[in-house]
Amino acid sequence: MSLLTIILNILLPPLAVFLKHGLSGIFFLNLVLTLIGWLPGVIHAFIVND
C-alpha cells in the first residue's frame, strides 16, 4: 500500500475506495459508512484497499 493510499484512506475514505474499485457496491458501502461515522469508513477503506 502506497503512502498516498494511506493518506487518502484516512482523510477521504470514499475517494480512496473509488480510485481502486471504481463506481461499485464497495464504493457506495464505504460512502454510507463514512456518512454514518468517519471511523467506520476509514476502517472499511483500509480493509478493501489492502
The pLDDT tens digits of the residues spanning 1-50 come to: 799 999 999 999 999 999 999 999 999 999 999 999 999 999 999 999 98
| Torsion, CA 4, CA 45, CA 17, CA 1, rounded to 10 | 40
pLDDT in the model for residue 40: 97
Q: Which residues, in sequence order, are CB contacts of 29 under 8 Å at separation 6+?
A: 44
Distance CA 4, CA 50 (A): 13
pLDDT in the model for residue 33: 97
Which DSSP category does 24 fall into? Answer: S
The residue behind cell 472499511 is 44
pTM: 0.91
Distance CA 47, CA 12 (A): 14
